[in-house]
Structure 1
Amino acid sequence: MNFAFGGSEVFDSPVDRSPNISTQVGFLVNLALARRVYTIDGDLASSYALLSYSGTDYYGFIDQNPNMAAYPAFVEFIVEDIQYSLGIMNGLKFKNIAVTSLHPLGCLPRVTVASSFRSCNESYSDLVRLHNESLKKAVAKLNKEDKFRTKGDRFVIVDLHKAFMTILEKKGNKRFKSPLKPCCEGDCARMDMKGAKKYTLCNDPKSAFFWDEINPTQEGWRSIYSLLGKSLTESLTKG
């Protein structure tokens, strides 16, 4: 049995009223414990869970706080909530629990559009660097305090950031000629009142790493997994 916990933000969303990441995790863990969704007896010892955080909180923060001096305290707040969420998941006694590193937010098309998709934003890069360094410390602390692990590290980090950057810097895949430029530009998948498309598409989606302003294409994800592949499997199944 495998679990995947996806959470886009630490704060509750004021737009779509979606719950924050620790609330989502707590809700799903309680469902599992209540056996309302999964049968967990005997399964967890050979199962793993993945917690994915997409960093939505940071976009608004950077817009309001251009001074890097404000970054550390906010990053600490975010990572503490992720650490708390991992602790909740620990209650289910999974064999291993993985969490993704934060991918390069400053290289997403929603940000690189400002440079005509030519370069990543350094302010975001600095913030992401702080986040991932803090996450490593949090995971190390959890592994040190975890009294239930029987062998090896129970909590592991899936390094999405390294995989993204390897491709975006053209070290791992030469097929994306302009990796920062999305295939779909504009208000993707939407039309105006007259039925005209409010977006444009590239000729070959397989030639683009990003589909829209935040999401990789299928080919993009395939390239990411090709880099994570073996190490990801080994990290989640060890112990």
Structure 2
Amino acid sequence: MGPQISVLISSFPCLLPLLLSLIAGNHVEASYMDRRVFAFRPTKMFVFGDSYADTGNTWKNESTAWKVPYGFTYPGKPSGRWSSGHILTDYLALSFGLKSPIPYQWRQAGAKYLKYGMNFAHGGTGVTETLVAYPNMTAQIGLFEQLIKDSTFSSGGLNTSVTLVTLSGNDYSAYLARDRSFAGLPAFITSVVMQLKTNLRRIYDIGARKVAVGELQPLGCLPSNTAANSFQQCNGTVNLLVGLHNQLLRQAVADLNNQTSSSTFIILDLYDSFMSVLNGTGDSKFETPLTPCCSGVNSGFYCGSVDGNGTKMYTLCKDPESRLFWDSNHPTQAGWRAVFSGLSAS
């Protein structure tokens, strides 16, 4: 889940010119998703990240993703996905003709499906420690490395695999929730991206040779950040913060590719793809793109919440496929399909 930071950032206006200057000073040519990568047909897929990639690693008793109405569109019941149905992981796997890799926590029951890879992503996590006691990216990579050592799947086989790394901003929501030190935000963003760069290099050293890295989506356009204006307008200051992260990420990816003398790492331009859908310039149109399908009936409640009597404390739109966003932070299945369509065409 992404951060809810619009009010916090807007209360520190001097951050705006600082972010603008930092973004301008860190401009580099981006290495966006290459058509050649998507012409590549991997045999396996490995996934690291948070709720934008998690297909069931959170336990049923600790996650709203296992509560009704999640999974409304697919598979018709909660499946541990933070959406009405399929998410980014599913669409990327499908584009390669693969089944979505099984979540790590299912590895025993689904050992025979290891041939499709494995998903280590866990909702609520980040590059650093967030507000949840779940494995962050460093820990996820540790599980991956151990899996390779313990299984008959050799690291050499990673040459025919693709790896997805995507994180949706939990590091920043956790940072602001802990100390709200706005002046330290640019330095913290730099530290997050540098740690992410270290983690990406570690994935390469284990043997991965095709790694797709997701940019941050426009966090200022998430329903959690547009609810205050009745879902009418994105928060531009928050999106400037995202811009700094993405500029630094592009530079880190470019450096990694120079170090490895290859095109191992490519960037998934989630920011522009989301914005294309939001602006109505993509293939899919949503009449009220900022309004979520599922939301709490009032403050303090959320999609999937019930009271002590089991009464639903959320409202649900009639057709989730008509909305870009499912809940306060995550796209619907239709939303992800539209966003991925934009990625594939870039």
**TM-score, normalization by structure 1:** 0.86
Cα deviation, 1:166-218, whole Å, max 9, x if unaligned, reads 10111114531110100001121221122221000112111110000111001
| Contact in 1 for aligned 2:45/2:163 (Cα 8 Å) | yes
Matches within 5 A, 1:155-166: 155-166=265-276
Cα distance in 2 for partners of 1:172, 1:213 equals 22
Q: 1:178 to 1:13 in 2, by over 3 A?
A: same
For 1:29, the aligned partner's letter is E
Q: Which residue of 2 aligns with 1:95?
A: 209
Cα distance in 2 for partners of 1:56, 1:166 equals 23
Q: Which structure 2 residue ranges, 5 or more long, are not aligned?
A: 1-43, 51-124, 297-301
Q: Which residue of 2 aligns with 1:154?
A: 264
Cα distance in 2 for partners of 1:112, 1:54 equals 17
> Once the two structures are aligned, what percentage of the paired residues are identical?
39
Q: Which residue of 1 aligns with 2:290?
A: 180
Q: 1:12 aligns with which of 123, 129, 133?
A: 129
Q: CA deviation at 1:81?
A: 1.1
Q: Is 1:50 matched with 2:93?
A: no
Give the match's secondary structure for 1:50: strand
Give the match's secondary structure for 2:49: strand
What number of residue pairs does the alignment pair up? 223
The 10-residue stretch of structure 1 (91-100 or 180-189) with the greater mean CA deviation from structure 2: 91-100
Q: Which residue of 2 aligns with 1:202?
A: 317
Q: 1:114 to 1:66 in 2, by over 3 A?
A: farther
Q: 1:72 to 1:39 in 2, by over 3 A?
A: same
Moved over 4 A (4+): 62-67
Give the match's secondary structure for 1:165: helix
Q: 1:82 to 1:72 in 2, by over 3 A?
A: same
Q: 1:106 to 1:41 in 2, by over 3 A?
A: closer
Q: Which structure carries more strand by proportion? A: 1
The 10-residue stretch of structure 1 (206-215 or 50-59) with the greater mean CA deviation from structure 2: 50-59
Q: Which residue of 2 aligns with 1:235?
A: none
Give the match's secondary structure for 2:313: strand
Q: Which residue of 2 aligns with 1:21?
A: 137
Give the match's secondary structure for 1:103: coil
Q: Which structure 1 residue ranges, 5 or more long, are not aligned?
A: 232-239
Q: CA deviation at 1:30?
A: 2.8
| Contact in 1 for aligned 2:168/2:216 (Cα 8 Å) | yes
| Contact in 2 for aligned 1:62/1:124 (Cα 8 Å) | no
Matches within 5 A, 1:18-167: 18-32=134-148, 34-36=149-151, 39-40=153-154, 42-62=156-176, 65=180, 67=182, 69-146=183-260, 149=261, 152-167=262-277
For 1:31, the aligned partner's letter is L
Cα deviation, 1:49-83, whole Å, max 9, x if unaligned, reads 1111111121244565485x533211101101110
Q: Which residue of 1 aligns with 2:36?
A: none
The 10-residue stretch of structure 1 (40-49 or 173-182) with the greater mean CA deviation from structure 2: 40-49
Q: CA deviation at 1:97?
A: 1.4
| Contact in 2 for aligned 1:26/1:85 (Cα 8 Å) | no
Q: CA deviation at 1:46?
A: 2.0
**TM-score, normalization by structure 2:** 0.60
| Contact in 1 for aligned 2:130/2:174 (Cα 8 Å) | no
Cα distance in 1 for partners of 2:327, 2:253 equals 31
| Contact in 1 for aligned 2:221/2:234 (Cα 8 Å) | yes
Cα distance in 2 for partners of 1:41, 1:106 equals 39
Cα distance in 2 for partners of 1:165, 1:70 equals 28
